[in-house]
């Protein structure tokens, strides 16, 4: 498929920057991107997980009422043990006296999306990283502003679109779509083909579920790329995405935890990647510079 051709399928994730199971779905989203490239377009609709923390109740996960910060911290820790992405649940204890809503982070994403959808997706990823594993308060304007500048958004326009209410209006349209699609939990997913046929499903899903549905909606039309496990491809993957958790390497390259540790250990010794503490785990990065280049990495 050529770069300028229309995607064969759209995958829409209904989400929230603070949702831990959306964070846990990042490895699968990256697997889809790596396996299908521009044949599949991934987009995001904001769901506004918590409008008002004083009114929020999630009986399934035993969250709500007094002690909510501690309850959410426990939920994040438990979820991380299951989905494998790093978290620092202390963030909810740190901000419990000021945190009121996830909506400001949702609105910030819409401000980014109004500029550039690709940069907006990167911005959402940075908010997820910051909230989940870096103990940053992404509901705060100054944190949003710093992350927006970091990924290359027009900072002045970003702030203006939040202040003048246009980003919030766009967010309200996302909430209307969630209501229309009967989305009540996150993540939820909609897959749509070029003919307008679509399939909706709810909750965290493995890569194999998406593959099955892709074939149902676009039988024989998608070409799944074979992902080769070697030094060049692993470093290239880490470099292109900026920050990568072990679970993402495991998912995309079909590696066990031990195999990920072996590969990253060897690449660290060669100076091709570095790692930084990220809550309960690590982020791997592959900085550019002398001694870090691999022939062919990032080309084409």
Q: d(Cα 133, Cα 189) in Å, to the nearest integer?
A: 24
Helix axes 141-150, 117-133, angle to 10 degrees: 130
Q: d(Cα 111, Cα 109) in Å, to the nearest integer?
A: 5
In angstroms, how far is CA 85 from the centroid of its own chain?
11
Give this prediction's pTM: 0.92
Average pLDDT over residues 148-175: 98
Let me know: does 23 contact 77? Beta carbons within 8 Å.
no
Task: Tokens for 291, please give them.
Answer: 């001694």
What per-residue confidence (pLDDT) applies to 90? 93
Taking only Cα atoms into account, the Rg of the chain, rounded to an integer number of angstroms, comes to 19
**SS3 at position 8:** coil
Span 100-111, pLDDT tens digits: 999 999 999 999
* DSSP characters over 190-216: EEEETTS-EEEEES---HHHHHHHHHH
**SS3 at position 19:** coil
Span 252-289, pLDDT tens digits: 999 999 999 999 999 999 999 999 999 999 999 998 75
Span 19-75, pLDDT tens digits: 999 999 999 999 999 999 999 999 999 999 999 887 776 776 777 777 777 988 899
Place of tokens 């889809």: 32
10, 94, 273, 285 from 268: Cα distances, Å: 36, 33, 5, 10
Q: d(Cα 85, Cα 283) in Å, to the nearest integer?
A: 10
Task: Tokens for 189, please give them.
Answer: 């997913």
Task: Tokens for 186, please give them.
Answer: 């996150």
Confidence of residue 299 (pLDDT cuts 50, 70, 90): very low
| Mean pLDDT, all residues of the chain | 92
Q: d(Cα 134, Cα 150) in Å, to the nearest integer?
A: 15
Domains of the chain, with CATH numbers?
A: 9-180 (3.40.30.10), 231-285 (1.10.10)
Q: d(Cα 101, Cα 175) in Å, to the nearest integer?
A: 15
* DSSP characters over 73-139: HHHHHHHHHHH-----THHHHHTTTT---SHHHHHHHHHHHTT-HHHHHHHHHHHHHHHHHS---TT
Average pLDDT over residues 149-169: 97
What per-residue confidence (pLDDT) applies to 293? 45
- Give the angle 29-130-67 at the CA atoms, nearest 5°: 105
Span 179-221, pLDDT tens digits: 999 998 999 999 999 999 999 999 999 999 999 999 999 999 9
Span 61-76, pLDDT tens digits: 777 777 777 988 899 8
């Amino acid at each position: 498929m050529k770069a300028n051709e229309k995607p064969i399928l759209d995958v829409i994730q209904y989400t929230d920057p603070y949702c831990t199971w959306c964070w846990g779905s990042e490895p699968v989203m990256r697997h889809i991107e790596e396996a299908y490239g521009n044949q599949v377009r991934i987009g995001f609709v904001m769901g506004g997980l918590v409008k008002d923390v004083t009114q929020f109740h999630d009986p399934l996960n035993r969250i709500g009422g007094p002690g909510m910060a501690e309850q959410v911290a426990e939920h994040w820790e438990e979820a991380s043990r299951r989905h494998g992405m790093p978290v620092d649940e202390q963030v909810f204890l740190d901000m419990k006296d000021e945190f009121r809503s996830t909506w400001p982070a949702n609105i910030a994403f819409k401000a980014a999306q109004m500029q550039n959808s690709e940069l907006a997706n990167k911005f959402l990823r940075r908010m997820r990283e910051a909230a989940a594993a870096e103990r940053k308060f992404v509901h705060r304007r100054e944190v949003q502003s710093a992350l927006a500048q970091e990924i290359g958004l027009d900072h002045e326009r970003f702030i203006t679109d939040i202040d003048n209410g246009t980003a919030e209006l766009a967010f309200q349209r996302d909430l209307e779509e969630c209501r229309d699609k009967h989305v009540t939990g996150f993540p939820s997913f909609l897959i749509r083909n070029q003919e307008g046929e679509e399939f909706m499903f709810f909750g965290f899903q493995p890569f194999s579920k998406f593959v099955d549905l892709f074939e149902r909606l676009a039988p024989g039309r998608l070409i799944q790329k074979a992902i080769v496990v070697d030094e060049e491809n692993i470093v290239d993957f880490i470099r292109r995405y900026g920050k990568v958790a072990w679970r993402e390497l495991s998912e995309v390259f079909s590696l066990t935890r031990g195999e990920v540790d072996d590969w990253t250990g060897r690449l660290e010794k060669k100076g091709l990647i570095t790692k930084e503490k990220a809550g309960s785990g690590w982020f791997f990065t592959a900085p550019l510079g002398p001694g870090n280049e691999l022939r062919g990495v990032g080309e084409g």
